[in-house]
Amino acid sequence: MRPIDLAYILLAGVTAPVWMRKARGGWPERFGKGPALGEPGEKPRVLLHAVSVGEVNALRTLVPLLEDRAEVVIASWTDTGIERARKVFGDRHEIVRYPLDFSWSVRRMLDRVRPDAVGLVELELWPNFVRACARRGVPVCVINGRLSAKSFGGYRRIRRFVGPSFASLSFAAVQDGAYAERFVQMGVRENDCLITGTMKWDTAVIEDEVAGAAELAEAMGIDRSRPLVVAGSTAEGEEALLHKSVPEGVQLLCAPRHPPRFDEAAAALPGCVRRSAGGRSAGAGADRFLLDSIGELRAAYSLADAVVVGRSFVPRRGSDPIEPVGLGKATLIGPSFENFDSVVRTLCGAGALRVVDREGLAGAVSGLLGDPETRRAMAEAGRRTIAEHQGASERHAELLVSLGREGMGRRGAG
């Protein structure tokens, strides 16, 4: 047994109560078992590893660009990631479970999948997996790479353990210069660290009208003649903050990120109209609304005069501001946005987004609602910035196809 496997076993025993709650199914596959895929064909077989839902969603603009040039296989670790991958890609592509990083689990999985190249979405670097790929001549890269200051600090503490994995990457295609510096410090060769931007920009659809928006407003009794603030993907404690920060007479619609919180959120918005209640009359004269439904946030954003991005006023690492910005909305975000650091910094630098803290939220909301010229300027800056930064998905596709062709020449190695 390799020392690293023994270390994993000891660590698993200590942390089992935590990760077993998150990993409820797919245990045979987590140990590398499962049906083998067919023989690789004339196109390179590219394995994309997206650890969970967010990373799977990041592939929505990339995979269609690969389909004609590569055989795409998508791996995920979490149950929710697997479920999302099957929903989005399962009708056209193989979906497999990413294994635990025991040497035998990794070996079984690679025997079944036989990739020509591997793309790790954002990072998710595991030593046994990278080492096994190298022994088989399978090149591994990072795409849409990011390494937050917090994660970088953690990796630096175990650099002796993970440094060789960083050094063995064929390349790291990262979102911006700050991330590039951190990848290089972790061991990626400077010439192999490429700044390609983030694929999040490519998900933006710039438009003024959204299907279903008028129907949503009518159903909930939203008054189109009065200002409306929409808060998307809110987390615990944020609805109460927003209720306090948005003055009476201004309409506020909150859309919680997680459905199990719908009742809790409603309690924080006294007298709110719930989408699930239905009926136009229910919302007559109301100024607090709860979007307790799935799939209607974009329509709600399109109705807004100003948008507040949730999961950013509590330590939840933020939510994506690109969608409301692409819809031309003046947008505010709180100080917790680590998962979207590059995007937030870019939008703020362009004057398209503002970061405010809890104490400054009320003033920022009132200021935007009272200044249509500023809202218009933010909208124009946001749409221009999005257009300028799109194209990362195509850049990643080109790199992956090239790497896959390189790997095809090594089939059977190891």
Q: Is the pLDDT of residue 76 over 80?
A: yes
235 with 178, same domain? Answer: no
242 with 311, same domain? Answer: yes
Residue 285: the pLDDT is 80
29 with 135, same domain? Answer: yes
Residue 413: the pLDDT is 62
384 with 243, same domain? Answer: yes
Give the structural domain span for 294: 213-389
What is the DSSP track for 252-307? EEEEESSGGGHHHHHHTSTTPEEGGG--GGGGTT--EEE--SSS-HHHHHHH-SEE
Residues 225-282 have pLDDT tens digits of 999 999 999 999 999 999 999 998 999 999 999 999 999 999 999 999 999 987 544 5
CATH number of the domain where residue 117 is located: 3.40.50.11720
98 with 225, same domain? Answer: no
Q: Let me know if residue 414 belongs to a domain.
A: no
CB of 345 closer than 8 Å to CB of 337 = no
Among 229, 224, 189, 263, smallest CA distance to 361 is for 229
Q: Let me know if residue 207 belongs to a domain.
A: no
Give per-residue burial for 300-336: e unless 16+ CB within 10 Å, then b: bbbbbbbbbbbbbbbebebbbbbbbbbbbbbbbbbeb
* Three-state secondary structure call for residue 242: helix
**Section 123-130 average pLDDT:** 94
Report strand pairing: 171-174 vs 288-290. unpaired
pLDDT-derived band at 40 (thresholds 50, 70, 90) equals: very high
CB of 372 closer than 8 Å to CB of 103 = no
Q: Is the pLDDT of residue 20 over 80?
A: no
Residue 8: the pLDDT is 66
Q: Let me know if residue 413 belongs to a domain.
A: no
Q: Tell me the residue ranges of DSSP E strands in 57-186.
A: 71-76, 94-97, 117-121, 140-145, 171-174
298 with 178, same domain? Answer: no
Domain count, the chain: 2
Among 329, 333, 286, 287, smallest CA distance to 310 is for 333
CATH number of the domain where residue 367 is located: 3.40.50.2000
Residues 284-325 have pLDDT tens digits of 689 999 999 999 999 999 999 999 999 999 999 999 999 999
- Least confident residue range of 87-96, 107-116, 270-279, 287-296: 270-279
120 with 250, same domain? Answer: no
Residue 80: the pLDDT is 87
The residues, any chain, with a CB within 8 Å of residue 152's CB and separated by 6 or more, are: 182, 185, 186
109 with 224, same domain? Answer: no
Residues 141-180 have pLDDT tens digits of 999 999 999 999 999 999 999 999 999 999 999 999 999 9
**Section 21-33 average pLDDT:** 80
State percent of the chain over pLDDT 90. Answer: 86
Q: Let me know if residue 196 belongs to a domain.
A: yes
pLDDT-derived band at 188 (thresholds 50, 70, 90) equals: very high
256 with 325, same domain? Answer: yes
198 with 232, same domain? Answer: no
Residue 116: the pLDDT is 98
Q: Let me know if residue 369 belongs to a domain.
A: yes
Residue 281: the pLDDT is 45
pLDDT-derived band at 27 (thresholds 50, 70, 90) equals: confident
**Section 322-332 average pLDDT:** 98
CA gap 267, 239 in Å, rounded: 9
377 with 247, same domain? Answer: yes
Residue 278: the pLDDT is 74
Give per-residue burial for 111-137: e unless 16+ CB within 10 Å, then b: ebbbbbbbbbbbbbbbbbbbbbbbebe
13 with 48, same domain? Answer: yes
Q: Let me know if residue 147 belongs to a domain.
A: yes
Q: Let me know if residue 55 belongs to a domain.
A: yes
Q: Let me know if residue 208 belongs to a domain.
A: no
The structure's pTM equals: 0.86
